[in-house]
Structure 1
Amino acid sequence: MGESKMADVEARLAALEARIDELEDLNAIRRLQNAYGYYIDYNRPEEVAGLFSQDGAVVFLSGEYRGHEGIMRLYGTWFQNLFTGGRRGPVKGLLLDHFQLQDVITIAPDRQTAKGRFRGVLAGGWHDAIKDALPEGMPQQFWEAGIYENDFVREDGVWKIRRLNYMMQWQADYETGWSHTVAHLQPAVQCYPENPIGPDVILAESEWRPTWPDRQEVSMSFAHPVLGAAFAVEHFQKMQRTWP
């Protein structure tokens, strides 16, 4: 085999190896996000915290929970006490199903960081057998949906969540629907430790997230699949005017 053909084969092999590496990264991050959904469904806050990097954080309801301690405060102290009375694991008559959908994952060229956009849909509620445990202000049956724009990092060779950025889009009582519902969860106004379940930081006013029925733009982390990163509405409108 000549040198030029050998070089061509080596280049093709290198391109295939890079593509395989990218697919492995995509599958690892998709698996990571899906595991997150299962762990919160089954009330396993320690496993949730273990999905995050050392500098990991969660943004929820206009507050940021930082580090494993802050993440445990959110998923353990707050959510666990709210839904299961502090007990770990699933509880008879309590439904919490988080569906992780529509992933669009972008791997950085150096394969050390990535961004991912996902849609989350939640069905939750309490069976009549345990409705006496229903927290004050919570509907017995509800829906919720939101958008994740997450940052991921490869730490010690393993993909982890660096920043889980969940932006609730709506909440709805099951019986009356989203047309007649105001979100039952509202942003915190006080940080930890003054608020025992509060975030470490309240987001700046410019990043404040009003809840349903208000809506807000959720910027997309990925380039346009056809027109690329340079896509702009104004440019597209100009292009349209030149089409036959």
Structure 2
Amino acid sequence: MTEIEELRAANEALANRVGKLEDITDIRRLQFAYGYYIDYCHYEDVVNLFAEDGEVVFLSGLYKGHKGIRRVYIDWILNLFNEGREGADDGFLFDHIQMQDVVTVADDRQTAKGRFRGVLLGGSHDIRKFKPAGVPQQFMESGMYENDYVRENGVWKIKRLDYRLQWQAEYETGWAHTDAHLHQAQVLFPEDPLGPDELLDVVRPTWPYRQDFPVHWVHPTVARHMIKPKQ
């Protein structure tokens, strides 16, 4: 290999490394934007973060495509917490904090995987007349995301958002004395108008029950790969 060829190879390798770093930044920005849009009930913006054939896994149910994604975020969550109104509502707290991210971009830079921890502080102030049915007035929540991303027409989008609830608790009594107020889906759409398109073939117990949620990456020091189970 000539000196010019070596320089070209080194330049290509460096450009690929820089490109992957830019991809990681874009994906982090995408996931953080997801949290901010949910905070203030901008669910149309949430839906548009997903690829056309994207999907959501929530409470052991799989919601497919933009129709399924709209069903979980708009028909269910937006109506439950904000009576279907887009935008901030006085007296309603719904802060979704996205953090502890580990993002892995594929060598071809067309797909990626990301793990994030989500922490939620939510509830309704006394001034708010509307109180979501079956939801504590003040509550806390934490969950793990193990997501897939895809570059669609040059833009990173969420391919599969897989949220596994870790715990929920009423603020007054804490996680030691309460269980999760959201539970596993049982009935599919359209029998349940808000139901998922499919049920996962694995059990995902909610708090106080716990199970491991394998990561997508290779261990950084011993190079052991924890295989993500097929779902």
TM bucket normalised to smaller:
over 0.9
Alignment counterpart, residue 172 of structure 1, candidates 169, 173, 179: 169
> d(CA) in 2 for partners of 1:168 and 1:231?
20
> d(CA) in 1 for partners of 2:98 and 2:20?
21
> d(CA) in 2 for partners of 1:230 and 1:183?
31
Alignment counterpart, residue 195 of structure 2, candidates 179, 194, 198: 198
Q: Give how far 1:231 is off.
A: 8.0
Is 1:217 matched with 2:212? yes
Is 1:135 matched with 2:151? no
> d(CA) in 1 for partners of 2:55 and 2:88?
25
> d(CA) in 2 for partners of 1:70 and 1:43?
18
The superposition leaves residues 11-44 of structure 1 with CA deviations (integer Å, 9 ceiling, x where unpaired) of 2211210111111110111111011111111111
> d(CA) in 2 for partners of 1:40 and 1:197?
19
Q: Give how far 1:191 is off.
A: 1.1
SS in 1 for 2:24: helix
Q: Give how far 1:135 is off.
A: 2.4
The superposition leaves residues 100-144 of structure 1 with CA deviations (integer Å, 9 ceiling, x where unpaired) of 0011011111111111010000000000111x4222321110000
TM-score by length of 1: 0.90
State, as a whole percentage, how many aligned pairs show the same letter. 56
The root-mean-square deviation of aligned C-alpha atoms, in Å, is 1.5
The superposition leaves residues 154-194 of structure 1 with CA deviations (integer Å, 9 ceiling, x where unpaired) of 11111111100000000010010000011001111111111
SS in 1 for 2:3: helix
Identify unmatched segments of 5+ residues in structure 2.
none
Contact 2:71 2:194 in 1 (8 A): yes
- Quick check: which one's helix share is greater? 1
Is 1:226 matched with 2:202? no
Is 1:106 matched with 2:104? yes
> d(CA) in 1 for partners of 2:132 and 2:117?
26
Identify unmatched segments of 5+ residues in structure 1.
233-244
Q: Which amino acid aligns with 1:159?
A: W
Q: Determine which structure has more spread, i.e. the larger CA radius of gyration.
A: 1
Task: Classify 1:231/1:79 alpha carbon distance in 2 versus 1 (closer, same or farther; 3 Å).
Answer: closer
Q: 1:162 aligns to what?
A: 159
The count of aligned residue pairs is: 227
Q: 1:83 aligns to what?
A: 81
Is 1:124 matched with 2:122? yes
Task: Classify 1:230/1:78 alpha carbon distance in 2 versus 1 (closer, same or farther; 3 Å).
Answer: closer
Q: Which amino acid aligns with 1:74?
A: V
Q: 1:4 aligns to what?
A: 2
